[in-house]
Structure 1
Amino acid sequence: MPIARRYRRLVPETTTPHGGALLRQWRQRRRRSQLDLALDTGISARHLSFVETGRSRPSRGLLLALAEQLEVPLRERNALMLAAGYAPVYAETDLDSAESQQAREAIERLLAGHEPYPAVVLDRWGDVVLSNRAVGPLLEGVDPELLAPPVNTYRLSLHPKGMISRIRNAEEWTAHLGHRLTRLARLTGDARLAELLDEIRSYPGVAEVLDDYHEPTTNELLLTLQLDHPAGELRLISTVTSFGSAHDVTLSELTVESFFPADDATRQRLQDVSTSN
């Protein structure tokens, strides 16, 4: 008996959570009670408790139903399935693959149709996947290292050698991007997003803005990006578009950020810049 006890102490504990433990983490991240989640899924709270503690192995269908209720991203749903002993459910295709051709063509038409106004396609981590020709002229003066692939929009905007020195409302825009990244990191639990958030908080002044910023009193309906440009000040508003009901990890994580002129002067300047390039 003493030998057996010594042996058990020497066996390292696993660092990979089982499916139920991952499910509990997602439930807690979404601030849902066991009873609330169980009722919405159509099971008993007792059954859910057994699943979370590993006393009961959930079916594939039940895991997917619970993940849907908790709005778990597709990438993390695959990880949840693997942890529970099932094969991943959602494919992750390259945007350049034949399977993604129709989606890529739709995105490229959207980008081209938005010119002479800038638009970019971003992945989950803010890396630029595609952009239209109107983006290039806005990047004058950015350090070439920040333009080496993969170009990350958070670094590009907030790094001291990036665009931040030309953004007139730098505090507002820093808060906008920083809080968006903070929200994504919290909602997804993605370690890479958390590392990126730590990085941008290390840039001069960013942490102070994110910790202390309060919404300004303004009559504007939308936040504008106010950018210095050789052609004159550009005032831009943005919209974010994503694929509806995507069943592929890659496509589900893509967003298209399209910038529109906030005034007539900006509209004319963007048109002039487009014709001169």
Structure 2
Amino acid sequence: MSESPGHVGELLRGWRQRRNLSQLDLASRADVSTRHLSYVETGRSQPTSAMILRLSSHLDVPLREQNRLLLAGGFAPAHPEHQLTDPPMAEANAALEAILQAHLPYPALVVDRHWELVSANDAAFDLLDGIDADLLEPPVNVIRLSLHPRGLGPRIVNIAEWRAALAARLRREYDATGDPALGELADEVAEELAAVPGSTALVVPLQLRRGDTVLSFISTTTVFGTPREVTLTELAIEAFYPADVATRKILNGH
């Protein structure tokens, strides 16, 4: 979606169609007339910045894409964007590092919108011990690293099940954001999907062989609540927890 050509109306129409909404559905939600919305989408009417943001809100358009819509409409971006190391982000950055450290002795890492590694705690880096150094040269894509034959791929016991779970998640994220890079990553992961037998597990675990043992993890995803800055909306903390007693004992040093 971020690379779609055309005027702001065409881009808004693309987001409406991505959300599977009719013009009537969106007009009703945004409290505008269907005729006016139609004029905006065809370019017969130039929307104000407030109208672009109103429609974007009801279409759940990511902040980065809202800025692009505003630029396409001839307006300045409404949402700030910083590097994580910039002074305005100091407290957010400190919060991320505090969460990573507090999660020890269990692995946790921070990824951006394209699943590139932003930060990780020592337990996460311990799981990467022995991986080819060139695969750890920034930028490190966590998805590719986990499946790479010189990465974690050969160590993942349930690789087919894990790949299928990743492909499904990436597809959902692409559907939500329209980000072409996520679509390409989803297709890349799905290329080698194999049939996965049914499972009664409540959560798909990551089963990782380390030496003579197999560590089994379940994971949670944490994001910032009510962010109004582009970078913060795109960061996620992936925290891994023991999925069985044996893994918990090993990680806790018992």
TM range (shorter): over 0.9
Secondary structure of the 2:191 match is: helix
1:266 equivalent in alignment to 2:250? no
Residue in 2 that maps onto 1:73: 62
Q: Spell out, residue by residue over 1:185-225, the C-alpha distance to the aligned partner (whole angstroms, 9 max, x if none).
A: 23222122233334x34xxxx5241xx645x4333221111
Residue in 2 that maps onto 1:131: 120
Query: Which whole-Å CA distance do the structure 1 matches of 2:226 and 2:11 have between them?
Result: 24
Find 2:27's aligned residue among 27, 33, 38: 38
Q: Spell out, residue by residue over 1:234-261, the C-alpha distance to the aligned partner (whole angstroms, 9 max, x if none).
A: 0100000001111010000000000000
Is contact 1:146–1:156 with CA below 8 Å preserved after alignment? yes
Correspondence 1:40-189 to 2 at 5 A: 40-189=29-178
Query: Which whole-Å CA distance do the structure 2 matches of 1:16 and 1:127 have between them?
Result: 27
Query: Which whole-Å CA distance do the structure 1 matches of 2:52 and 2:64 have between them?
Result: 14
Q: Spell out, residue by residue over 1:121-168, the C-alpha distance to the aligned partner (whole angstroms, 9 max, x if none).
A: 000000010111101111133222211111111111112221111111
Q: Computing the radius of gyration over CA atoms, which structure comes out larger, 1 or 2?
A: 1
Find 1:219's aligned residue among 192, 200, 205: 200
Find 1:235's aligned residue among 216, 220, 238: 216
Query: Which whole-Å CA distance do the structure 1 matches of 2:56 and 2:199 have between them?
Result: 40
Query: Which whole-Å CA distance do the structure 1 matches of 2:228 and 2:113 have between them?
Result: 15
Secondary structure of the 2:213 match is: coil
Letter matched to residue 78 of structure 1: N
- Percent identity of equivalent pairs: 48
Q: RMSD in angstroms over aligned alpha carbons?
A: 1.6
Secondary structure of the 1:233 match is: strand
Residue in 2 that maps onto 1:12: none
Count residues with an aligned counterpart. 251
Letter matched to residue 42 of structure 2: T
Find 2:237's aligned residue among 256, 259, 270: 256
Residue in 2 that maps onto 1:6: none
Query: Which whole-Å CA distance do the structure 2 matches of 1:196 and 1:269 have between them?
Result: 33
Q: Spell out, residue by residue over 1:66-125, the C-alpha distance to the aligned partner (whole angstroms, 9 max, x if none).
A: 101111011100000000111001111111111000101111111100000000000000
Runs of 4 or more above 4 Å deviation: none
Letter matched to residue 176 of structure 1: A
For normalisation by structure 1, the TM-score amounts to 0.86
Secondary structure of the 1:134 match is: helix
Secondary structure of the 1:75 match is: helix
84-93 or 182-191, which deviates more: 182-191
Residue in 2 that maps onto 1:207: 191
Letter matched to residue 251 of structure 1: L
Query: Which whole-Å CA distance do the structure 2 matches of 1:219 and 1:197 have between them?
Result: 25
Structure 1: which 5+ residue stretches go unaligned? Answer: 1-14
Query: Which whole-Å CA distance do the structure 2 matches of 1:17 and 1:161 have between them?
Result: 42
- The 1:56–1:213 alpha-carbon spacing in structure 2 relative to 1, beyond 3 Å, is farther
Secondary structure of the 2:253 match is: helix
Is contact 1:238–1:260 with CA below 8 Å preserved after alignment? yes
Query: Which whole-Å CA distance do the structure 2 matches of 1:158 and 1:234 have between them?
Result: 17
Query: Which whole-Å CA distance do the structure 2 matches of 1:233 and 1:188 have between them?
Result: 35
Q: CA deviation at 1:174?
A: 0.3
Query: Which whole-Å CA distance do the structure 2 matches of 1:207 and 1:264 have between them?
Result: 34
